[in-house]
Chain A
């Protein structure tokens, strides 16, 4: 079935290093992808998004890369900080019923070592 999933369930990085979180999707018709950050006991927080007509989008310390050929999405966090420790989800907007719905991948837990 259609899904949005992740290659790595956990990632541990040293403070100051760059982090890369990967995601694979299976629905080639998807045209909008989002990365969310979720801290323990809280709702997901929007980080960055990208449309399928783009390959790359940059935000503050974050970059999202989209490779439509292999249906792969990645989130790069520069100079990772302890406050970046959280679970990161990629999500995909799927159309339906005249609108859309956001489907989440499995998530990757990022640990930042001080």
Chain B
């Protein structure tokens, strides 16, 4: 159990365009979802926390107008990178919690902005 699926696993987009990444909890209801960014050889950096039906809470230094997060249902959260630039190229990972203490992670999305 506790499977979290992300889509797409890889995406390449042109500079200035927007990209949407989906995160789904497949076998449980995720009351809270988290979005992380990971640069090569670095740790995961928390970007934001979202609760179903509420606005996301962003970490300090993360632009909420650039990284739009929607958590419209208990099984789906989306992250939209707006007006992407090469410096936004990274590995984006979501995790989901069903109310317990442990969060379970998706397989990640490799974003490359050219």
Contact = CB atoms under 8 A, between A and B. Distances in A.
Interface of A: 32, 34, 36, 41-46, 49, 51, 89, 93, 96-97, 99-107
Interface residues of B, number: 27
B13 interface: no
Contacts of A43: 4, 6, 93, 95, 105-108
Q: Interface on chain B toward A: helix, strand, loop, or mixed SS?
A: strand
A93 B113 CA distance: 32
Interface of B: 4, 6, 31-32, 34, 36, 42-46, 49, 51, 57, 91, 93, 95, 97, 101-108, 110
A46 B51 contact: no
A97 B32 CA distance: 11
Contacts of A102: 34, 46, 95, 103
B95 A42 contact: no
